[in-house]
Structure 1
Amino acid sequence: MASTLYIQLPPRTVADKLGGWGEQSFSYCLASAEKNILQQGRHAFANLQSLVHQADQTVLLVSASDVNFLQVAVPPMPFAKLKAAIPNLLEEQLLTESADLLFVPSPPVKGQCYVAVVTRSWIEQIFGFGVQLGATKVSAFALSDSLSQHAEIATILIESVPAESQIFEISVRSADQIASGLSIDVPNAAIDQSHTVQQIIAAINILAPQEALQIYVEPSLETALRQVFIAPNDGSRQVQLASLDWKSKIGGVSNRSIDLLAFLSSDGKQSFDWLKWRWSVSMIVFMVMVSLFALNWKWWSLQREANTIRDSIQATYQSAFPKEPASRDPLFQMQQKINAAKKVAGQSSSDDFLVLSAQFAMAWDQLNPAQPASTVTSVEYRERSLFVTPKSMADVRVEQLRPLLKERNLKLEVKDGSLKVFSDVGGM
């Protein structure tokens, strides 16, 4: 069954004080594809590594206070060009150099685009965290972008952060899909809870003014917030409170959520799970090696057979003509000897003048039955070949004449305006 490991990261201000990733502990949950919680808790870095290998993918939840979401009107352009143009479109809204920030846009809808803006150095540290965990498929979403969304209601998550001082993280996803977050440092939270509640309410009024609210809060603050929101509520603002759990944190994660690692440089990032496919790859490599060995073995066998046949022919020729020097083509040389023997015995060979001329005449008449013989101006015999000079080489249909001669074991070559006809004995 497919599963996803969700790991919640502390705010950057807290993480910098806690030291390296290996020295920290993290809140996590292991969920099914339907987002049913299979396992949850808090583990140190070393224990999370074993969970990463059990899950199909890893999702890192980045603190909402570390990610800003902006909405910008964009002109019609390809998405690849839009990514390069985003820093210029948001230049007036930035307080930091654009080179120090990472911009991750969502696909435009009706000329509007949501852009997640995060400090580049911080997101690179988060990417390094995923690499150290050994995750082969890792993505990162802002916590405010992963909250469950309710129609016409702003979703608010209030959670304390384990640190030296009491820090509360407020993550908001408004009804118009804009996500935001704020970190509140309350030094005397354990002594004066009313002061903590007042600061939280002030932050909520800033992030989600005059909106109906769905608040997920820890049990330690639920009663105090309920007294503030529910008891004196005059009905002008609809507020619902519920206990904070992992389902409320990851309920909004979907393929439309903005992955903060989507456009980060992929140097060192594993895009293919070699460990998962190691047996299949090993089997394919083994099959290729076996096939190459079989092909080479077949070639060696044929090569040995060819050498054996060539040596046999050479030995036969040497036994028949012991005084003749060795030849590169003994079969052709033996054919020459046979032709010479035929001539001595009064028999015609295939390369005699009479045989060549008769065979050529039959092929020529078959090709040009209506033309007179005067179309051939001269016929010469030399070098065991017949040289025929036609009256007009342009009128000779060479490509049609060639197969007719081939039927009679003759070859045809066009050379210096004449036709060279010679016997095809299969040799050089």
Structure 2
Amino acid sequence: MSTLYLRLPSKAAFDSTAQWEVLDCPYALAAPSGLLEQEGVAALSQVSALVARAQRVVLLVAASDVTMLRVQMPPMSAARQRAALPNLVEDQLITDPAECIVIGGALADGLRTVAVVQRAWLELMTRTVLGSGMARISALPAQLCVPHAADAVQGVVLEQDADIELTLRLSAQDGMGVAILPEHPASAAREAVDAALAMAHGQPLLLRVPRERVPAYQQAAAELGAAELATVQADSWQQWIAGAGGADIDLAIGLGASARPKLNWKPWRLPLALAVLLLAVNLVPLNLEWIRLKREYDGLRASMTQIYKAAFPNETVIVDPLAQTRQKVAAGRRNAGQGAPDDFGALAAAFGEAWQSAATRTPGGAPPTLAGLEYRERSLFVRLKPEAQVPFDAVSAALARRNLSLTAAPEQAGVVMWQVKTGK
């Protein structure tokens, strides 16, 4: 899973230009193994194209935009801790905590590290970077991504045209950032080194700067008489990636749903249009055929209802004219002395003839006899004696010629049962 690392510009650089879309944004695309696949600088408005190539995006928020605090907290659950943090740091902020994202980090020496960033600013950067990408996003304070050294203060310089973003890692749990706006570009390196030395408070300083600017910063350190105290090296993405792996504060947690991946509908427009077209091509003829059949059904039902009313004018309730007509015809036949094919008499007579014809063909022995007959559910159930030896296939064939079917019903107490019913 490839990861895209982006160093966001500071809010000070954002506010100092009218065309913030052209602000440079250093980036690095790393493979799952940690090896760099690509690095460079892209305009802030163009980084969304890089997001499409990664499954995860790590935003390194400028250190000058993130305030690191140390607060003492009583023991409490993680949920209550998240709710209490804004109130605990309210006295140390000059803005309303409701307008900020407050995330707690590691606990050391009884104090918890807390990062505070302006919510509106981080949401703007997140929307600008992600665009319509589907990558998972993390937002880490840049000062916590600078590797920590126990015997020195480490700093990193990012130059944005004439503006400078200075990031310092003061201790394992503390870091800060300063946005420097030099009056003259020629004095930028000197002002950055001077500010870094002032915040290092006499401790050895390891300063990483852009590779092509190493000689200028070394000369600035020599001019300030701090050549032995300040060591200048070339910055590299490998150090940032290693430092980001140890950062324990993710500011994107405070963004909630706005930091979640959003579905990119652009690649799906053509397939969705084809699917809708295919659905319409199939549904329109299907509905037209249904309408035609429904009209035909309504016409046949109206015709049958009219015929039924003409034949039986005294009937007032007509639910199913076809079924009611069949019932009337069957009742009329019974009243006239004609039996229905599934009446007991008709079924018993037909079975008796089939039984007799099959029994006469049974070789040797006494003629088989029945144990009993039962009529229910318009079917004739025949119970056979255990010693009866009558071929099932012969009786079934004889009944089939009379439009009757013969099936073996479930046995009851060891007695074999046959079921005779009409073949319709």
TM range (shorter): 0.5 to 0.7
Alpha-carbon distance in 2 for matches of 1:72, 1:350: 93
Give the match's secondary structure for 1:341: helix
- Correspondence for 2:96: 97
Which one of 216, 221, 243 corresponds to residue 217 of structure 2? 221
- 1:284 positional shift: 7.6
- 1:26 positional shift: 0.4
Query: Where do 1:1-150 residues align within 5 Å?
Result: 2-4=2-4, 6-9=6-9, 11-22=10-21, 24-34=22-32, 35-45=34-44, 47-48=46-47, 50-106=49-105, 113-130=112-129, 135-137=133-135, 138-149=137-148
Alpha-carbon distance in 1 for matches of 2:191, 2:272: 62
Which one of 198, 213, 216 corresponds to residue 202 of structure 1? 198
Alpha-carbon distance in 2 for matches of 1:76, 1:309: 81
- Pair 1:242 & 2:240 matched: no
Call closer, same or farther: CA 1:271–1:302 in 2, change over 3 Å: same
**TM-score normalised by length of structure 2:** 0.60
Code of the residue aligned with 1:117 in structure 2: it is V
Which one of 178, 181, 201 corresponds to residue 182 of structure 1? 178
Alpha-carbon distance in 2 for matches of 1:88, 1:51: 38
CA RMSD of aligned residues (A): 5.1
Q: Which runs of 5+ in 2 are unaligned?
A: 344-373, 380-424
Percent identity, please.
25
Alpha-carbon distance in 2 for matches of 1:108, 1:15: 33
- 1:292 positional shift: 7.3
Please list the CA deviations of residues 87-128 of structure 1 after superposition, one character each: whole Å capped at 9, or x if unmatched.
111123223332343323348799764321123443344345
Alpha-carbon distance in 2 for matches of 1:301, 1:78: 67
Call closer, same or farther: CA 1:217–1:341 in 2, change over 3 Å: closer
Alpha-carbon distance in 2 for matches of 1:279, 1:32: 32
Q: Which runs of 5+ in 1 are unaligned?
A: 234-238, 352-403, 410-428
Alpha-carbon distance in 1 for matches of 2:279, 2:108: 49
Which one of 320, 326, 329 corresponds to residue 321 of structure 2? 329
- 1:154 positional shift: 4.6
Please list the CA deviations of residues 8-64 of structure 1 after superposition, one character each: whole Å capped at 9, or x if unmatched.
31x322321211423x33032231234444444444455545444444454443321
Return 282-291 or 152-161, whichever deviates more.
282-291
Code of the residue aligned with 2:161 in structure 1: it is P
- Correspondence for 1:260: 251
Partners of 1:155 and 1:173 within 8 A in 2: yes
Give the match's secondary structure for 1:65: helix
Partners of 2:165 and 2:179 within 8 A in 1: yes
Call closer, same or farther: CA 1:33–1:305 in 2, change over 3 Å: farther
Partners of 2:104 and 2:113 within 8 A in 1: yes
Code of the residue aligned with 2:103 in structure 1: it is V
- Pair 1:169 & 2:162 matched: no
- 1:67 positional shift: 0.9
- Correspondence for 1:364: none
Partners of 2:164 and 2:192 within 8 A in 1: no
Alpha-carbon distance in 2 for matches of 1:76, 1:295: 67
Alpha-carbon distance in 2 for matches of 1:110, 1:307: 85
Partners of 1:76 and 1:111 within 8 A in 2: no
Please list the CA deviations of residues 321-362 of structure 1 after superposition, one character each: whole Å capped at 9, or x if unmatched.
9844596333333333333333333879999xxxxxxxxxxx
Alpha-carbon distance in 2 for matches of 1:339, 1:110: 99
Alpha-carbon distance in 1 for matches of 2:132, 2:81: 32
Please list the CA deviations of residues 183-215 of structure 1 after superposition, one character each: whole Å capped at 9, or x if unmatched.
34554673697676444311222xxx65x6543
**TM-score normalised by length of structure 1:** 0.59
- 1:224 positional shift: 4.8
Call closer, same or farther: CA 1:85–1:342 in 2, change over 3 Å: same
